[in-house]
């Protein structure tokens, strides 16, 4: 009952790795970085009334300088992508990683610089502008992952995802032989996804409904396959090892097929949303730079 083909195993493994990145919550490095950020914010919060540092002098002053510098250095990533003479300055993905790190550390250091105190009017405007850009950046990061294979993976392409779906359909022959209705159900589900390309509000709700429907459909197919394969395994007297290997392999293929179609379901919607986000994010960033410079000028002149 084993439908493995030696020539397809590397392709299946590569497919699994690529789509797993899209659904992975966080890497170990990201988890450690998050803990560090939380620790810094918590330390600043519990000591905010102790006046260990102040925005005007010493450590507090330099936290503001470093934080503001990191926010300005965020410009390096878009410049690296657009300016030809910077093409040889390390691969773009390293600049993107740095952009992500600076986009978090900059606001954290500026919050510590402020000691969670709003201060003067120009300081309040600069702080809220920075926080708006930071929140916008996190939202952009979320959308970015939806149209790429993970945070640092390549951009997903519509035809490539369709090809991956067809490849998995071919390799799920054993599952379809036991659950023949699944082939038609999955084909209809994919057609429904292809017909739902829309970036409007109604498109969002339709996409969510399709995702929920997919969760139910794949669980139903998985349960049916497990029940039927269990009976076949008993009838053919498969060993535990043979049974587990075949079961795991086919459930894994089904799980990958679900991830592929969910990626397809997300792609067009989030591509359009990402374009709209870009239009909004740039003026927010410019506003942050202007208000930050005004704040620095006011602090040093007055």
Whether 276 has a pLDDT exceeding 50, the answer reads yes
Whether 161 has a pLDDT exceeding 50, the answer reads yes
Residue-wise pLDDT for 46-85, tens only, equals: 877 777 777 778 888 888 889 889 988 988 888 888 888 8
Judge whether 143 lies within some domain.
yes
Query: What length is written for the chain?
Result: 302
Whether 32 has a pLDDT exceeding 70, the answer reads yes
> What's the chain look like in SS3?
CCCCCCCCHHHHHHHHHHHHHHHCCCCHHHHHHHHHHHHHHHHHHHCCCCCCCECCEHHHHHHHHHHHHHHHHCCHHHHHHHCHHHCCCCCHHHHHHHHHHHHHHHHHHHHHHHCCCCCCHHHHHHHHHHHHHHHHHHHHHHHHHHCECCCCCCECCHHHHHHHHHHHHHHCHHHHHHCHHHHHHHHHHHHHHHCCCCCCHHHHHHHHHHHHHHHHHHHHHHHHHHHHHHHHHHHCCCCHHHHHHHHHHHHHHHHHHHHHHHHHHHHHHHHHHHHHHHHHHHHHHHHHHHHHHHHHHHHHHC
Judge whether 35 lies within some domain.
yes
Same domain, 138 and 207: no
Average pLDDT (217-223) is: 95
Judge whether 73 lies within some domain.
yes
Judge whether 4 lies within some domain.
no
Same domain, 91 and 161: no
**Alpha-carbon radius of gyration of the chain:** 25
Judge whether 1 lies within some domain.
no
Same domain, 92 and 197: no
Same domain, 94 and 182: no
Same domain, 81 and 227: no
- Percentage of the chain with pLDDT > 90? 14
Judge whether 176 lies within some domain.
yes
Judge whether 46 lies within some domain.
yes
Same domain, 98 and 202: no
Same domain, 146 and 283: yes
Q: What is the pTM of this model?
A: 0.71
Q: Binning pLDDT at 50, 70 and 90, where does residue 3 land?
A: very low
Residue-wise pLDDT for 233-255, tens only, equals: 899 888 889 899 999 989 989 99
Determine the Cα–Cα distance for residues 271 and 146; give it in Å rounded to an integer: 8
Q: What's the pLDDT at 23? A: 53
Same domain, 189 and 267: yes
Whether 8 has a pLDDT exceeding 70, the answer reads no
Q: Binning pLDDT at 50, 70 and 90, where does residue 42 land?
A: confident
Whether 202 has a pLDDT exceeding 70, the answer reads no
**26-to-15, 21, 93, 151, 192 alpha-carbon distances in Å:** 19, 9, 17, 9, 31
Q: Binning pLDDT at 50, 70 and 90, where does residue 92 land?
A: confident
Burial of 245 (0-12, 13-18, 19+ CB in 10 A): middle
Q: Binning pLDDT at 50, 70 and 90, where does residue 224 land?
A: very high
Burial of 32 (0-12, 13-18, 19+ CB in 10 A): exposed
Domain interval for residue 236: 9-16+155-274
Average pLDDT (113-137) is: 83
Determine the Cα–Cα distance for residues 206 and 196; give it in Å rounded to an integer: 7
Same domain, 262 and 284: no
Whether 6 has a pLDDT exceeding 80, the answer reads no
Same domain, 163 and 264: yes
Judge whether 231 lies within some domain.
yes
Same domain, 164 and 66: no
Question: For the chain, what is the mean pLDDT?
Answer: 82
Same domain, 264 and 289: no
Whether 94 has a pLDDT exceeding 90, the answer reads no
Domain count, the chain: 2
């Amino acid at each position: 009952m084993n439908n493995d083909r030696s020539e397809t195993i590397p392709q299946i493994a590569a497919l699994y790795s690529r789509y797993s990145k899209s659904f992975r919550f966080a890497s170990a490095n990201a988890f450690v970085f998050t803990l560090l950020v939380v620790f810094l914010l918590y330390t600043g919060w519990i000591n905010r009334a102790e006046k260990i540092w102040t925005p005007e002098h010493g450590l507090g002053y330099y936290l503001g300088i470093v934080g503001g510098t990191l926010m300005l250095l965020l410009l390096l990533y878009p410049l690296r992508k657009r300016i030809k003479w910077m093409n040889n300055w390390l691969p773009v993905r390293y600049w993107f990683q740095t952009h992500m790190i600076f986009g978090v550390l900059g606001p954290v250091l500026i919050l510590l610089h402020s000691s969670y105190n709003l201060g003067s009017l120009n300081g309040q405007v600069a702080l809220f502008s920075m926080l708006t850009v930071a929140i916008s950046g996190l939202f952009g990061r979320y959308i970015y992952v939806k149209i790429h294979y993970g945070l640092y993976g390549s951009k997903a392409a519509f035809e490539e995802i369709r090809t991956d779906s067809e490849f998995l359909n071919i390799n799920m022959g054993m599952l379809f032989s036991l659950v023949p209705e699944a082939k038609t159900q999955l084909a209809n589900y994919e057609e429904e996804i292809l017909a739902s390309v829309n970036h409007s509000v109604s498109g969002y709700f339709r996409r969510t409904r399709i995702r929920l429907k997919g969760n139910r459909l794949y669980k139903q197919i998985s349960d049916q396959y497990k029940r039927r394969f269990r009976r076949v395994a008993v009838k053919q007297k498969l060993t535990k090892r043979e049974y587990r290997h075949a079961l795991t392999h086919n459930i894994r293929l089904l799980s990958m097929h679900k991830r592929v179609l969910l990626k397809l379901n997300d792609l067009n919607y989030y591509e359009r949303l990402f374009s709209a986000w870009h239009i909004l994010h740039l003026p927010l960033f410019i506003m942050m730079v202007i208000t930050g410079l005004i704040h620095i000028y006011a602090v040093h002149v007055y």
